[in-house]
Amino acid sequence: MPRMKATEAAVIVLEKEGVDCAFGVPGAAINPFYAAMKERGSIRHILARHVEGASHMAEGYTRAVAGNIGVCIGTSGPAGTDMITGLYSASADSIPILTITGQAPRAKLDKEDFQAVDIESIAKPVTKWAVTVKEPALVPFVFQKAFHIMKSGRPGPVHIDLPLDVQLSEIDFDPDTYQPMEVYKPKATRAQCEKALDMLLAHDFPLIVAGGGIINADASDLLVELAETLHVPVIPTLMGWGTIPDDHGLMAGMVGLQTSHRYGNATFGLSDFVLGIGNRWANRHTGSVETYTEGRKFVHVDIEPTQIGRVFPPDYGIVSDAKAALELFVDIAKERKAAGSLKDYGKWVESCRHRKKVMLRKTHFDEVPLKPQRVYEEMNEEFDRDTVYVTTIGLSQIAGAQFLKVYNPRHWINCGQAGPLGWTLPAALGVRAARPEAKIVALSGDYDFQFMLEELAVGAQHKLPYLHVVVNNSYLGLIRQAQRGFEMDFEVSLAFENINVEGQAGDAPPGYGVDHVAVAEGLGCKAIRVSSPNEFKEAFARAHALMEEHQVPVVLEFILERVTNIAMGTEVDNINEFEEILCLDPNLSLERPVDMGRDAEEPQPAQRDA
């Protein structure tokens, strides 16, 4: 039996489980682990500037490619507490990442040693499993179990804490016979899927709600195939955006209080049945349960048993991995189509498509300072179907979801439930590390950008180019808009007179505070500022050229008007529209179609990555 350091065994397990990239910050208590990584030389390491940033890089890395597991490494004490926000974000959105910390020697754990904290207890609420390894011989098997837990059932993060003396101990371990544990995923039965489709076909105005679990299961093609076979419209959630292309004939728009389309909310209001797959009925999607559920029946399919009925009791629930359920749904739907027993939803689909054409929000504004809607209009014209967007929270993300277009799974990478400011920049770096050839565009408001902008230096050092769009109104815009309900505008302005730029031609506009261009360039990146609509085309062209030439992140900052309220509301049927509406048909009926005969054009096949 080969004998080796426990840390070498741990690194070998990482290799065997498919890890080839990690993010982190070394320190005294984790240096033995880093020594093993250096000795084996099999895992690329990207040095972050903040351990929270490293945790978000790991999350972006996981989200970018099916099967990836992002790894974040840090020393004892504050490194572990810095990881907690990243663990919370990953846990909330069912994203498997592995975080690893060093720890004081076992004999010092209750002696208030330097940087010794009970990180296991701190991490437990935001992980699937958190453990301090106190027996050296357990190290390889703890790492093996970590991957099994992260991938089984509802995916999620795991934290491993390694005392210094455990890392330095020698153990027996045979890498040649190591085998990853088989992952457990519950599977729907045929009888369950038959019943769910019977319920759907008993209704006249059904919808499929496609959640992020479909993307986690790498099952978007099956979702599109099911929708096309049944000829039933699809409402993706924010986390499921990209499961069906935005220009597909059966993509009926997103629903919700903020990240929604007018036509999506209108269509949902007319529905009488919803088949939810891999979604969790998030409150920004549903609003109040009473309004959301009134007048319609629900079937809920989810990999996590306790998720079914957590927000509201569905009329029928199925515990299943999304891919396993969709495979059965597709097989059954095809059999019924061949037998001529499917319902004809042509008129329903036609009415959904009509709303999608006419219930739009205006984007073409020529004002200076810029209106944000114009920025997203220009982004849609500039960026093609293969663009991967990365973003977190704020009016920038909400407006982005209302106006941008997404055509593929894993092309909208957005932390949903946790929504930590600062997430966008490091996550985009993680996406770039996972997908070297992808066209990556990050989207931030000025405050999200400022939270962790030091990580730009990571992109410069490690040559991780991407385009970072910053929409700058020098405000905590979403909080300012929310404060309207309290009739205040209090402590949400980021504006100040910057003594270093005032009055200098070409610098930041007076009163906007931080000079993002100067900061980005000081961190080794390139940056461009845009103040007028007639500068868009040239700025995008320059940004692409700078990325190509220097292989570093390029910041493209758009100077917005200070105050723009973005459409949102208290219920899915009560959304406030603050700007003009484009081409709303005054004769548009918001009633359900009476004639259910099919005469709508068939949907075109989905366009997907090779």
Give the active site residues. Answer: 25, 51, 421, 476, 479
Question: Residue 151 belongs to what H/E stretch?
Answer: helix 139-151
Q: Strand, helix or coil at 195?
A: helix
Beta strands in 429-561 (DSSP E): 439-445, 467-472, 526-530, 554-559
Own/partner pairs for 31-37, CB < 8 Å, 24+ apart? 31/102, 32/5, 32/7, 32/102, 32/164, 32/167, 32/168, 33/7, 33/73, 33/100, 33/102, 33/162, 33/167, 34/73, 35/7, 36/5, 36/7, 36/8, 36/10, 36/11, 37/11
Q: Find the angle CA(412)-CA(415)-CA(416) to the nearest 5 degrees.
A: 100
Contact 48, 22 (CB under 8 A): no
- In three-state form (DSSP H/G/I as H, E/B as E, the rest C), the secondary structure along 401-428 is HHHCCCCCCCCEEECCCCCCCCCHHHHH
Q: How far from 244 is each of 409, 456, 508, CA to CA, in Å?
A: 8, 32, 40
Q: Strand, helix or coil at 197?
A: helix
Q: Find the angle CA(289)-CA(291)-CA(296) to the nearest 5 degrees.
A: 90
Q: How far from 188 is each of 141, 254, 324, 342, CA to CA, in Å?
A: 31, 26, 7, 21
- DSSP structural state of residue 108: G
Q: Strand, helix or coil at 553?
A: coil
- Which of 304, 117, 130 is closest to 212 using CA atoms? 304
Q: Per-residue DSSP letters for 235-299?
A: EE-STTTTSS-TTSTTB----SSSS--HHHHHHHHH-SEEEEES----HHHHSSHHHHHTT-EEE
Q: Strand, helix or coil at 136?
A: helix
Name the region of 228 (left: φ>0; alpha: ψ -120 to 50; beta: rest).
Answer: alpha
Strands 439-445 and 412-414: unpaired
